[in-house]
Amino acid sequence: MILLFQFGAVCALAQVTPEGITPKASEPEAVVRSLYREIVARHPVGVPHGEDREQIYPYLSKNLIRRFDVNQACVRDYLRQNYEPHSKPPFDWIDLGLFSGMNEEALPVSFHLDRTQPLKDGAFRVYLRLNYGQPSSLIWHVVAVVVPENGRFVVDDVILQKDATGDGVLSVSQILTHGCDGSRWVGYGTKKDDAQ
């Protein structure tokens, strides 16, 4: 009887959640580590699509995924208003590694978790150091905001430090709204926090 109970407990712990994340990812550090393994392997630039989306979205909160979806509706509205097939849209995030930074910072080769800070309501800030080049010729920092959701931890936002954007401290959730009023494209400079 005890052996049967132990076997059942081991099987329950080994099950994969519907989102595809094993129970060990329930700790804030573990979900950030899993997400950044994907970021280092894939180097997504702009809003993740296709296979990048499939591999990255399981680590994100419903709130952040909704922000990506609203952003993409705003992109469609921009294209409807300004269709020019050979011009690059003006979105400030289009060449940005939303989880890491601009230029070389969009291509981290490794990461290290520096520390974890508990916040109110069970949320955490996980501070990361990212590296580019060998041996680590460029080092910068980002902060992942991790929240509990449906019995597990997920990344709800990423804060790009001044050294990662050149524009001061910005979060992914802020960057995704620049030029947008919800799903409508309104242009830059129309809201207080918009990039110029």
Q: Which of 9-13, 54-58, 116-120 has the lowest mean pLDDT?
A: 9-13
The number of folded domains in the chain is: 1
In this predicted structure, the answer to whether residue 183 has a pLDDT above a threshold of 80 is: yes
In this predicted structure, the answer to whether residue 60 has a pLDDT above a threshold of 90 is: yes
Predicted local distance difference test score (pLDDT) of residue 103: 86
The range of the structural domain enclosing residue 131 comes to 21-185
In this predicted structure, the answer to whether residue 164 has a pLDDT above a threshold of 60 is: no
103 within some domain: yes
Model pLDDT for residues 116-144, shown as the tens digit of each residue = 999 988 999 999 999 997 766 788 899 99
- The three-state (H, E, C) secondary structure of the chain, written as one string: CHHHHHHHHHHHHHCCCCCCCCHHHHCHHHHHHHHHHHHHHHCCCCCCCHHHHHHHHHHECHHHHHHHHHHHHHHHHHHHHCCCCCCCCCCCCCCEECCCEEHHHHCCCEEEEEEEEECHHHCEEEEEEEEECCCCCEEEEEEEEEEEECCEEEEEEEEECHHHHCCCCEEHHHHCCCCEECCEECCCCCCCCCCC
134 within some domain: yes
In this predicted structure, the answer to whether residue 23 has a pLDDT above a threshold of 80 is: no
195 within some domain: no
pTM score, two decimals?
0.79
8 within some domain: no
